[in-house]
Amino acid sequence: MNSLDFMLFCLQLILMLSFALAFGQLAKKIRQPAVFGELLGGIILGPTVFGAIAPGFHATIFPAAGQVAFVRETLIKLGMLFFLFTAGLEVNPAGLKKSGRPALFTSLFGIVVPFVFGMAMVKALDWLWLPRIGIGINLFAFFMGTALSISALPIIARILMDLKLTRDPIGDVIMTAAVINDLFGWTIFALIIGAIRPAGGLEIQKLPLMLAELAVFVWLVFALGRGLGRNPLARFMNQSGPSGSRLMLLTILMLTAALSTEMIGIHAIFGAFLLGVALDFDRGENNHAHEIIGRFAIGFFAPLYFVSIGLRANFIADFNLPLFLLILLTASAGKILGSGAGARAGGMLPREALAVGFGMNARGVMEILLASVALEYAIINRQVYVALVAMALISSMASGPLMKMVLKPSGR
């Protein structure tokens, strides 16, 4: 990279972070998560607005290929690892037992029903999807079922905080079910990614070996995570003094986990996320290291990543209204009906069960991440990508107000 390339790279970062900051603050002022503003900033900075107004200048500042584009995309991928690792650190597997039967039924129904809805939508309208996908229709149906079954843990947590439901039984049920949804969704998606040949086919014979490798990896990661509280590595973590040493160790572990999953044919972000979930050492002792990673991931890497989403597609030219409405209605119906029915079967009151269904329908960050990886692997084209991102935004923005409307008569 020569001097001009480096200056262009710095200019890109300045523009991306500036737009993320400005529009993120604007989103907060209207009581929306900053990520929505960061996405809007990326759409304005990308081909949708800036590229349409000044296409030549936009192509000069954000070239689609070359060293600068390669370095930028590498930095963004590294940011994805830190962001998913941080999201994993916020998951407490031990807390999954506390919410009992309602959470179990909510997660089960909230996975199965939208999964079936997603697969049925693809199989019933295969003529609609075939021109827009890079894999076989059966595997794509499996992918779409997975995409519609996940929820967005970070967005849900923010909504519950805004509604002061984090210590309410409804909040406990939603958070626990969302954790299970995310673990299921990313595990299945990891298998889909690993089973796809570079040409886009499905290697059935790879699945048993991949499942075995994944099972061994999960066991090793959780053994390491649980062991950190009782072995020499933990003593280093807890007694090394400066948080910088702990930060370096956490980064090494995260990159090792990411490398391991990439080596067995599964996307690196799954390894980073799983390690974050598995880590179970004394968080009080290591809170400063966690805080540094969290702040850096949320304050630097995440904004870059979400702005970059707007650079990947033209959200006007690639927007297909019927496709978007089909995905939005199928996803919302499956998640609200499934999660709500599960909460009701678990013993919750009808009004509470409906609130749980609305809460679980927030897709947000996790859906956008999944769509981005699917686009990267040519599973979907830009029209499907834009429809999934738009669905994630609309469902997340509607989730809080709908929950508030349902729970208001009960005084919550």
Q: What is the pLDDT of residues 59-68, one digit of tens each?
A: 888 887 888 8
Q: What is the model's pLDDT at position 410?
A: 58
Average pLDDT over residues 71-83: 86
Confidence at residue 99, expressed as pLDDT on a 0 to 100 scale? 63
Sorted by sequence, the CB contacts under 8 Å of residue 365 that are 6+ apart come out as 35, 87, 152, 154, 155, 392
What is the average pLDDT across 201-212? 64
Which is more confident, 190 or 5?
A: 5
For every residue of 131-194, DSSP letters joined together read GGBSS-HHHHHHHHHHHHH---HHHHHHHHHHTT-TTSHHHHHHHHHHHHHHHHHHHHHHHHHH
Residue burial 138-158, b: 16+ Cβ < 10 Å; e: rest: ebbbbbbbbbbbbbbbbbbbb
Query: Strand, coil or helix: what is 380?
Result: strand
Name the band, by pLDDT with cuts 50, 70 and 90, for residue 332: very high
> What is the percentage of the chain residues whose pLDDT exceeds 70?
83
- Give the confidence band of 384 by pLDDT, cuts at 50, 70, 90: very high
Question: Domain spanning 81-410: which CATH class is it, in words?
Answer: mainly alpha
d(C-alpha 71, C-alpha 255), whole Å: 18
Section 77-88 average pLDDT:
82
Rounded mean pLDDT, 270-281: 75
Check pLDDT > 50 for residue 199.
no
Q: In whole angstroms, how large is the CA radius of gyration of the chain?
A: 21
Could you tell me what percent of the chain has a pLDDT over 90? 20
Contact present, 245 and 292 (Cβ < 8 Å): no
pLDDT at 152: 73
pTM: 0.75
Residues 256-265 have a mean pLDDT of: 83
225: pLDDT strictly greater than 70: no
Least confident of 174-178, 254-258, 266-270, 308-312: 266-270
Question: Do the beta carbons of residue 84 and residue 273 sit within 8 Å?
Answer: yes
* Domain chopping of the chain, boundaries: 81-410
- How high is the mean pLDDT of the chain? 80
The pLDDT of residue 203: 55
Task: Give me 410's structure tokens.
Answer: 């009960």
Q: How confident is the model at residue 237 (pLDDT cuts 50, 70, 90)?
A: low
* Helix axes 34-45 and 364-376, enclosed angle (nearest 10): 40
Q: Pick the residue with more confidence: 23 or 159? A: 23
Q: What's the whole-number mean pLDDT along residues 74-96?
A: 76
All residues at 6 or more sequence positions from 204 whose CB lies less than 8 Å from its CB, including other chains: 195
pLDDT mean over 212-233: 69
Each residue's pLDDT tens digit, 176-192 = 788 788 777 777 777 77
